[in-house]
Structure 1
Amino acid sequence: MQLKEKEELLRNMELGLIPDQEIRQRIRIELEKRLQWGYKETHEEQLSQLLDLVHSLKGMKMATEMENLDLKLYEAPMEFLKIQHGSNMKQSAGYYTDESTTLDEAEIAMLDLYMERAQIKDGQSVLDLGCGLGAVALFGANKFKKCQFTGVTSSVEQKDYIEGKCKELKLTNVKVLLADITTYETEERFDRIFAVELIEHMKNYQLLLKKISEWMKDDGLLFVEHVCHKTLAYHYEPVDAEDWYTNYIFPAGTLTLSSASMLLYFQDDVSVVNQWTLSGKHYSRSHEEWLKNMDKNIVEFKEIMRSITKTEKEAIKLLNFWRIFCMCGAELFGYKNGEEWMLTHLLFKKK
């Protein structure tokens, strides 16, 4: 595929000229190419590939290329996010216990799982790094009234939303700080720290975990959730010249996808207490539910897109960007029945 062909493909997808079924098939082709690129013939080669990346990350800055993140993903209108997500506004995977589980139920089930695995108890101080729209902090603060939750976000809109929800829910045990995690400093020490889908945009996990460990009380625990591949770890960079998929959502350099075991190589300042993996099917289904919510409310969705773009064409492109985003996530995490790309939870203690 020549550059012009790739540009035409993306243009046609964003204009809604390519059926969903064909888009999904093209995504699956790219995923298979990624596996062919990543899987090696011997375990020795596989481990060497992983350790090469581990060593290279330890020589990098904590985060790079953050300024190149696509703002469409992180500054979406609140009206749109309310359409897309469930009632807890959880911007990451739900936990589906069976086929009848709704999006709202899946959000609550996953948040309950976080609280259980992080060993949250009333009276604790809890830090939520990269708190997004506050799903963890709001849910936790409502369930554990004697806990004090502190959320950290770099988004003014997210901070305003969480503070508004606190007033609505009459929660007085949540505060939100506006800060960049890579430069954030505090003298406060916490019983528990959450880092839910934070490390994906980080590079030097050693520096990150060292920094986080300094905010933990001596008996504190850190709960991490991140997306992963069961074996492979790689920077989100194109597999070949025909790869349209890899940097469509996340520009080159902005995302590193870890393997399920990768953080175990960064235990200089924290020690793993436990680890769990969750089938990719949970996240796949979350993306499918988000897509259904958009399609069920397509008229309202279009109006929101029109309100933030200059032209009808740009509104259509933005609408289809979000639809393709959901298809990409659904296909990635659903690939091979959710047994390639998935989620992992890790619980760390301070060394």
Structure 2
Amino acid sequence: MAAAAAYTAATRAALAALERNVLPDAVTRRLTRLLLAQRLRLGYLPSAPLQLQHLIQFAHALEEMPIAIETDKAKDQHYELPTTFFKLVLGRNLKYSSCYFPDDSSTLEDAEVAMLGLYCERAQIQDGQTILDVGCGWGSLSLYIAKKYRKCTITGICNSTTQKAFIEEQCRENELSNVEIIVADISKFEMERSFDRIISIEMFEHMKNYNALLKKISGWMKEDSLLFVHYFCHKTFAYHFEKTYGKESATKWIAYWRTFFISVAELFGYNNGGEWMVAHFLFQKK
């Protein structure tokens, strides 16, 4: 308990300093590493049985929760920002998720395309299939599939009118008629349709009740459908995302995004990339 209280206090103190946007990048990185180290000290338990017991208890606790919580807050802080901002900080495909750099010389755009191609390979996408892109963001994967597999029909679900408008504009510019975008809260959305492939990229880590979510998704799958999931995780333990920015500080966007980008870089680079990572899973319907 004392360690958890110390971690909470340290987190609050660090965020208070970061929000003022006065710290050099080197100091911000150092603070981030200290918080990550503290997170690992809290996450790793003394023995393998205790570690497994904690993970099982965490999983059972999720079953008592709704599919997702505070979706409006994430929407306001990320997805309803002007698309012009994301054009400045993302690659040409506006892929707001992990990329794949096959070698050190890869550009961000190359890494976006490499990961999009890897998704299609691992999800076993074939021309002519019906595709559901759950949590499609700015449509990087939906548009990639629509261009590469012209006979596929793609339905994307996002929770932002800004994202929908951007994707539909891209469809008009590229003369794509095989993409449909639906704005909806995935935790509440229902439909009477089925698809050959369902893909979810970096959405599951924001969810809570995976059983309820997978039950919902399975209702959209045909008997031979496949569900491909890409999410980021820690190699050993699971934990809830922490509330770092409240309503009173949501306007401090410069400090927020600067810290966010540094934190993501430090998170995936910690211990030479050996702690946090992205994982790919392919599911069949029971």
Cα distance, 1:9 vs structure 2: 5.0
Give the aligned partner of residue 93 of structure 2.
88
1:324 to 2:259 alignment: yes
- Partner Cα distance (1:55, 1:10) in 2: 31
Matches within 5 A, 1:80-229: 80-229=85-234
Are residues 38 and 67 of structure 1, via their aligned partners in 2, closer, same or farther at CA, if it must alter by over 3 Å?
Answer: same
Cα distance, 1:183 vs structure 2: 1.7
Q: Unaligned 5+ residue runs, structure 2? A: 1-5
- Partner Cα distance (2:72, 2:241) in 1: 16
- Partner Cα distance (2:140, 2:7) in 1: 43
Are residues 70 and 155 of structure 1, via their aligned partners in 2, closer, same or farther at CA, if it must alter by over 3 Å?
Answer: closer
- Partner Cα distance (1:148, 1:135) in 2: 15
Are residues 47 and 320 of structure 1, via their aligned partners in 2, closer, same or farther at CA, if it must alter by over 3 Å?
Answer: same
Whichever residue aligns with residue 58 of structure 1, its letter is E
Give the aligned partner of residue 267 of structure 1.
none
Which one is further off, 8-17 or 134-143? Answer: 8-17
Are residues 70 and 14 of structure 1, via their aligned partners in 2, closer, same or farther at CA, if it must alter by over 3 Å?
Answer: farther
- Partner Cα distance (1:234, 1:59) in 2: 15
Are residues 34 and 172 of structure 1, via their aligned partners in 2, closer, same or farther at CA, if it must alter by over 3 Å?
Answer: same
- Partner Cα distance (2:255, 2:133) in 1: 32
- Partner Cα distance (1:9, 1:45) in 2: 30
- Partner Cα distance (2:238, 2:12) in 1: 28
| Mapped contact 2:7–2:35 kept (Cα < 8 A) | no
Are residues 30 and 10 of structure 1, via their aligned partners in 2, closer, same or farther at CA, if it must alter by over 3 Å?
Answer: closer
Whichever residue aligns with residue 342 of structure 1, its letter is M
Please list every run of at least 4 consecutive aligned residues from structure 1 whose deviation after the TM superposition is greater than 6 angstroms. Answer: 1-8
RMSD: 2.2
Which one is further off, 119-128 or 62-71? Answer: 62-71
Percent identity between the two aligned chains? 46
Pick the aligned partner of 1:42 from 38, 43, 47. 47
Which one is further off, 228-237 or 91-100? Answer: 228-237
- Partner Cα distance (2:133, 2:93) in 1: 16
- Partner Cα distance (1:9, 1:119) in 2: 44
Partner deviation per Cα, 1:62-90 (whole Å, 9 max, x = no partner)? 11232343722222211111011101100
TM-score (norm 2): 0.92
Cα distance, 1:214 vs structure 2: 0.7
Cα distance, 1:212 vs structure 2: 0.3
Whichever residue aligns with residue 150 of structure 1, its letter is T
- Partner Cα distance (1:202, 1:166) in 2: 29
TM-score (norm 1): 0.75
- Partner Cα distance (1:2, 1:341) in 2: 19
Whichever residue aligns with residue 244 of structure 2, its letter is Y
Are residues 33 and 183 of structure 1, via their aligned partners in 2, closer, same or farther at CA, if it must alter by over 3 Å?
Answer: same
Give the secondary-structure state (helix, strand or coil) at the position aligned to 2:228: strand
Whichever residue aligns with residue 20 of structure 1, its letter is D
Q: Unaligned 5+ residue runs, structure 1? A: 238-246, 252-313
1:51 to 2:56 alignment: yes
Partner deviation per Cα, 1:255-305 (whole Å, 9 max, x = no partner)? xxxxxxxxxxxxxxxxxxxxxxxxxxxxxxxxxxxxxxxxxxxxxxxxxxx
Are residues 204 and 18 of structure 1, via their aligned partners in 2, closer, same or farther at CA, if it must alter by over 3 Å?
Answer: same
Whichever residue aligns with residue 274 of structure 2, its letter is E
- Partner Cα distance (2:17, 2:58) in 1: 36
- Partner Cα distance (1:174, 1:343) in 2: 27
- Partner Cα distance (1:4, 1:340) in 2: 23
Give the aligned partner of residue 3 of structure 2.
none
1:334 to 2:269 alignment: yes
1:348 to 2:283 alignment: yes
